[in-house]
Amino acid sequence: MELREYLKHKTLLFDGAMGTYFRSVHPEYPGKCELANCNAPAKVAEVHKNYLESGARAIKTNTFAANTHALECKFDEVRTVIRQGWKIATKVAEPYRAFVFADIGPITDPNGEYEQIVDEFLALGAKNFLFETWSDDDDLYALAAYIKARCPDAFLIASFAVSPDGFTRQGLSARAVLERVTNCPVIDAAGFNCVSGPNHLLAQARANADLFGKERPAADPAMLSVMPNAGYPTIVDGRTFFENRAGYFASRMVEIVAAGAKIIGGCCGTTPEHIRLTAEALNEEEIKPEPAAAQVEVKPREVKNRLADKFAAKKRVIAVELDPPADDNLEKFMAGAKALKEAGVDAITIADCPIARARADSSLLAAKLRRELDIDPIPHMTCRDRNINATKALLLGLSAEEVRNVLVVTGDPIPSAERDEVKGVFSFNSAVLAGYIRELGEQGVTASFRVFGALNVNAANFEVELRKAKRKVEQGVAGFLTQPVFTSRAFENLIHAHEELDADILGGVIPIVSHRNALYMNNEVAGIEISQGVINRYEGLDREAAEDLAVDLSVQLAQRMEPYTAGWYFITPFQRVSLITRILRELNKSTETDPS
């Protein structure tokens, strides 16, 4: 029977997890599971057969990680793994008249490899494809169109790995991704697998069931696919184990079908026993569809954001960066922040462990500033040091503390001398983090944040920097703080950004306090470029004369940037808050005496 015809009458039951089950029955196997297609084909065939004997009517080829990145090999070897995997699966499935799906997992840096993999499967006669455990949909639509152009009858399932709270590891909400995917006419089914157990994926199935079954132009309605993990693993003696509660799994799968799933199966930790009991439950019980859950419209919470209001009113915004202390003595930091507020500063920005060295936490300091000084802080949030769970926890805390503005940056790498002891965690980049923050606000999980990003106007290839900035705007970044602007090239890039970006820009100013300071910043600080003419002006000056020059240059630079910015971003050198307040006084004087 053709697959689409089968699905009109029955629920399609997939197999369970090839990887974890293969390991459990063949712990002696030394390599990656996919390589067993070539050097232990009988063991792979045995796994497929066990699932089919248990009642599965669709199996996945043992090719989830068949790519050059995961297998650390040339594509010629990947090609062999794919061909052998297809040969094994189709041979085992034939007597059971089961459907075989080409299994394709995510690739860290695909660079055209998805198309190569697809071409191999199509050449072998594959018509059914499963893209599983994906964390975003960026490459999916072009790839699906590529397949359908070559095989119009192909059946495509897009399956995403989501955490129990409904977000992928890239920070995308399940709802937002499924809304896009179910509206794509070249994708036949979509849903979830991996990361979460059956109870949490049941909740996701119910929450998103309304997206499925709707008419689509030039395509049948999309179907819901759900393949949960067996549950949540435990670690025993350094090994990962899933407790075998197959009966519970089966009962939840029946509920998932009642919630609207037409395609089900298992992921990590599921065994033939899970599939057997699920098949029996599906055959024994009369499954009545659940009434569609009423969709509650979630609206972003209306919150007061003084900084956002000032931008909206086209008033100039002044933000000043204060470095967090390297110890727990906050007296100087708080005194500096108070002096800046009294000088008319709108916001204090706080770096997040700059140059990857531990300092007082930027978000905790932001909450303290908000509560004790009633000034608007902009804590920096790096993508280094936190996974998505830690990031969400921090955002919840900031929202509760009424901190409404954040600056997202990827973060400096860990210094090489410390990498044996300190490990960087980069679960996403700044554009993805910005999108995640926006999604939390749109779903009412947190209050809406105004998200800022960094803009390097000193970049050697500014067009690349500008493309990154536009991507960040698409993800929800509303404003940019630039690197310090000292050179004519940096000014040209600032003007270009002003013309191209639909976002507010705060022009970066850092006072240079000595000749040595100028040399250091120009030669050792990434993203800062100082002209030789400016460096030469500091040569031979004492501290007082150097500060006078710093004030004059900073005021001139700020005034020159004014037509192309929504305000200024001053970086405090060596905690010299008095120098920043002096610059602000001079700027105020020039504004008051300006005849225009």
Question: Which segments are annotated as binding site for Zn(2+)?
Answer: 194, 267-268
Q: Tokens 């980069």 sit at which residue? A: 426
Any idea what the Cα angle at residue 502 is, between residues 496 and 508, rounded to 5°? 55
Q: Which residues does the annotation place in the binding site?
A: 194, 267-268
Token output for 186: 């070249």
- Report the b/e string of 546-578 with b at 16+ CB within 10 A: bbebbbebbbebbeebeebbbbbbbbbbeeebe
d(CA 316, CA 504): 10
Q: Which residues contact 475 (CB under 8 A, 6 or more apart)?
A: 431, 432, 434, 435, 438
Distance of CA 520 to the CA centre of its chain: 34
Q: How far apart are CA 407 and CA 363, in angstroms?
A: 11
Residue 480 contacts residue 453 (beta carbons within 8 Å)? yes
- Measuring CA to CA, which residue among 85, 91, 109 is closest to residue 33? 85
DSSP 125: T
Q: Are 353 and 382 in contact (CB under 8 A)?
A: yes
- Buried/exposed code over 256-292 (b: 16+ C-beta within 10 A; e: otherwise): bbbbbbbbbbbbbbbbbbbbbbbbebbeeeeeeeeee
Helix 41-53 to helix 75-93 angle (10° resolution) is 40
- Give CA–CA dist 222/201, Å, rounded: 18
Q: What gap in Å lies between CA 187 and CA 183, rounded to an integer?
A: 8
Token readout for 489 is 């090239």
Give whole-number Cα distances, 89 to 23, 98, 263, 276, in Å.
Answer: 18, 10, 19, 19
Residues 6 or more apart whose CB falls under 8 angstroms from that of 427 comprise: 169, 383, 386, 387, 388, 391
**Nearest 10 degrees: CA dihedral of 141, 67, 113, 263?**
-20
Counting DSSP H helices and E strands in the chain, the numbers are 23, 18
Name the residue type at position 483.
Q
Query: Do the Cβ atoms of 449 and 441 come closer than 8 Å?
Result: yes
What does the H/E/C string look like for 19-69?
HHHHHHHCCCCCCCHHHHHHHCHHHHHHHHHHHHHCCCCEEECCCCCCCHH
Distance CA 495, CA 46 (A): 65
Distances (CA, A) of 217 to 138, 149, 220: 22, 17, 8
